[in-house]
Chain A
Amino acid sequence: MLQDHLQAYVTKYGFSGYTELRAQQNRNRSVAMLNGSLIANSSGVSRGVSARVVKGGAYGFASATGYGDDPEAIARIVATASQNAGFLDRRVQRGEPDFLPNRPLTRKDGLEHDVAVEQSYLLDMVDELDSYIAERFPRLLSRRVFARSLDMEKLLYTSDGIVAHSFVPRSNVYIFMTTQDKDGQPVELYKVLGGYGNFLEKFKNAEDFFENLEKQHELLMQKADGVYAKPGIQTVILDSDLAGILAHEAVGHTVEADFVQTGSVGGPMFGQQVASEKVSLVDIAHSAFGELAPVPVFVDDEGTPAQDQMLIENGILTGYMHNKESARKFGHKANGNARAFDFSDEPLIRMRNTCILPGTDKLEDMIASVEDGYLMTDMNNGQADSTGEFMFGVPLGYEIKNGKLGRALKDTTVSGVAFEVLKTADMVSDTVTWTNSGMCGKKQMIPVGMGGPAIKVKINVGGRA
């Protein structure tokens, strides 16, 4: 656990003007096995201190590796940040006032998850899962098992009296299986296990996951015998994983306030109907549906207490995600979306846990309602655009013919314009599933949670004619 050396600095020097002071440690572990050979066995710690100072609206930031009990070392970082802010302030002379102070607050969140996990525990887990796959499915062309964990610990002091110490762990195992189709072409399917929690909590016994491996192999065999989707606009049920990435990529990015200012499509659509009234979208701060969200944020890295941010309510675009500066500019309330990835990163406007809220339909009724279309179940990546245009990869799906599931699909993609696609959502399932393995890229990478029910839409399917 990070020792609190910041308090001694604050006691000795105090703060001069608006300042955020953050000590942070990101601890990660990685073990990877390819066809039974260990190809990665590493761990790492990224630890350091950063300071951000604002003078007249000009930001100065500085960070350094190493974090110890010498207040003078911390003072040098704050001084460099202050010089940087001064350099810019002299040139731009913006003369903006300091941010209004938050009410002083002290919080500790998630620290109980900080327990020692040995690298050998990950090695054993990967080895057991890999051995099971090798024994059960010897005819696979290739298999890969990766274990990854990332524990982010932050200690924040701000000049307005916020003290927040948080620990957010994430542990995942990725399983890739590759076989050949009848033409001898490789066909791959991967699944991700795990989520919020340290590795010991999420992966108690390898046997607990053998059923997942059996299921994944069965799905891979279906995919190997699968067909290519028909290209063009189709009726598609996007299952939870895909609804989640749609919420994140296609809508979330366009309603980040910095992107709105640049000119994203979310700007002119504020207050307008952007989705069917069955669609509500929220960026969850830390808790939802009676449990912790995948990436809980209780206080953001500017010291703002985090609350849920409603983005679309019954189809109407009602909110943006903000940092302190954009919230002031828009006259909105900041709800804790300013997040930094590493100690050396400044906070940016980021999503936390974007989620389409559940509806009232049953998935089986949704399938039964489709005469000719697809159920898309898995996603592998996605990208969004300022126009709301998006695309994501679909490594697994199924035909739906006359209300019944048919053959599996080979790799395809779905794309469209977010708000146009969401306007076609006429059924929304009653069950939300979260994914907790995604890293979102925007100057910095950052862990995000994505969630959603299944939604039935009209969407452009890539594929082969």
Chain B
Amino acid sequence: MKQEFEVKDKAILDVAELILNEISSIGADEGETWVSRSVLTELYYEQSKISMVRTVFSDNVSIKLLKDKRKGTIRLNSFGPTDIQKAVAEAWQAAEKAAPDEAEGIAELQENLSFSSGEKEPNLDLMYQQLTDFLEDTRRDFPKISFDSIGIEHQYSEKLYANTNGVRLSEEQGLYQLSNMFMARDEGKTSSFNYFATIYKNPADRVTEPNRVRRLLSETEQQIETEQFEGSFVGDLVITPGCLQDILWFIADTYLQDGALISGTSPWKERLNQQVASPLVNISLVAEHPELPGASKLSGDGYVVENMKVIENGVLKNFSLSRYGASKTGMQRSANNGSTVVFNQGETPLEELLAGVEKGILLGRFSGGSPSPSGDLSGVAKNSFLVENGKVTAPLSEVMIAGNLSDMLRDTVAVSQERESSGYWLLPWIRVSGVTISGK
């Protein structure tokens, strides 16, 4: 919820004002700070039992100051005035030694705003009930599943961005998150491990309700006995939503974000408003979405983020650049340089999308190295199945895929109507043709 600027915990505001005063009085031209206070409450399951309740109280501060475009930054986890003064002095020393960078700066004056969502207090009783229900549901419906760990946590935080231009933005957020790692086992045999994380607002929700959770548990149970194949072929890749999220993260890093554009290695650096992907590809970064409670409203460099199209009908509409990245490259700052991503739903029912595959794999998880700067990517297909003549057949192991990220978006031939959400991404299945798939 967007509202007039108001920080609930006055200590946060006081610390921020102290920091800005120190920044000015030490002689810096500009400066900014993030000040936050949070409480994490976690219920943890490991070694076959609910093992631990954990509470983490955190105060965190980050400071950046500039003198003649020379930058010094520092982080600390204390609100103590002496620690703050010492930290500003240290950042100042760092700035004095740094080389000037004309691209440096801080966010311009904008409307001061606050945002809030979720509950401040965790409900530990409900969290405990949710975890025991989840374990019970899984034992009943997916008896071969063995959890390595499950964490249910509630995190409440209030954070403030303030700078010497007068910008004040704050966000108060209370969210539940469940994350886990599991495998399936039967008669001494073990599947590949798998995992998921989900962000939500209500701890009374049944974890196994969404199709995504049931699908992942069920598919993992089917992967205890896997098959391998010899040789290699060029075929179709059907990428599942969770795996697509990893691929999109690689794409952002290789083509869209500060690092690739400042270094000049992004193969798309001259491709704005050009076709870089199949017309079926529509990707946005979002600040608000009813299915994505994990979206943050503020960017790390002090702006309110907005929903932003990255690729529309295959055309590159926006990079994902910070204020600094934009200034450094002479491009425009992006309205969103976050990671809460939405891929529009397609027109093909999933069943039909799979039915169109002559030979290929259904890719559950990609385990591989970072792509090269040119977008070349290779790694192991995990939690994956062979698809032949439109049918999902054998679970696979020891299968490698190799391709290029840009080529994969260009060669996307179908996008599913169905999508899955984790609370911070909302993505379909996509089918990509022409990928090298190799067995043993």
Name A residues whose Cβ lies closer than 8 Å to a Cβ of B.
34-35, 37-48, 58-66, 80-81, 84-85, 87-88, 91-92, 94, 118-120, 123-124, 127, 141-142, 144, 178, 185-188, 231-233, 258-259, 261-265, 268, 325-326, 329, 344, 346, 380-381, 383, 385-387, 389, 391-394, 410-413, 415-417, 443, 460, 462-465
Contacts and interface: CB of A to CB of B under 8 A. Distances in A.
B287 to A, nearest CB: 25
Contacts of A61: 52-55
B148 A259 contact: yes
Contacts of B95: 41
Contact of B94 (A43, A88, A265): A43
B370 interface: yes
The residue in B53, B62, B90 that gathers the most chain A C-beta atoms within 10 A of its C-beta is B53
Contact of B232 (A34, A232, A263): A232
Contacts of B330: none
B359 interface: no
Contact of B47 (A232, A258, A386): A258
A66 B378 contact: no
A124 B94 CA distance: 11
Interface residues of B, number: 79
27 contacts: A35-B263, A40-B73, A41-B71, A43-B94, A46-B77, A47-B77, A64-B57, A81-B55, A87-B124, A118-B93, A119-B90, A119-B97, A142-B265, A178-B265, A186-B265, A258-B47, A262-B48, A262-B182, A263-B190, A268-B188, A381-B370, A386-B183, A386-B190, A387-B190, A393-B369, A393-B379, A464-B436
Contacts of B185: 263
Interface string B389-417: 00000000110101000000000000000
Nearest to A29: B94
A87 B52 CA distance: 10
A383 B380 CA distance: 10
B126 interface: no
Interface of B: 46-60, 62, 71-80, 90, 93-99, 101, 103, 124, 128, 146-149, 151, 182-183, 185, 188, 190-193, 231-232, 259, 262-265, 324, 328, 367-370, 372-374, 376, 378-380, 382, 397-398, 400, 402, 436, 438, 440
Contact of A346 (B54, B147, B188, B231): B54
Contacts of A380: 369-370
Contacts of A63: 55-57
Nearest to B147: A262
Contacts of A119: 72, 90, 93-94, 97
Given A44-B75, A187-B372, A416-B398, A462 B438 contact: yes
Nearest to A382: B369
Contacts of B147: 262
Given A178-B263, A258-B148, A262-B183, A37 B400 contact: no
B324 to A, nearest CB: 8
A391 B367 contact: yes
B90 A43 contact: yes
A59 B52 contact: yes
A459 B80 CA distance: 55
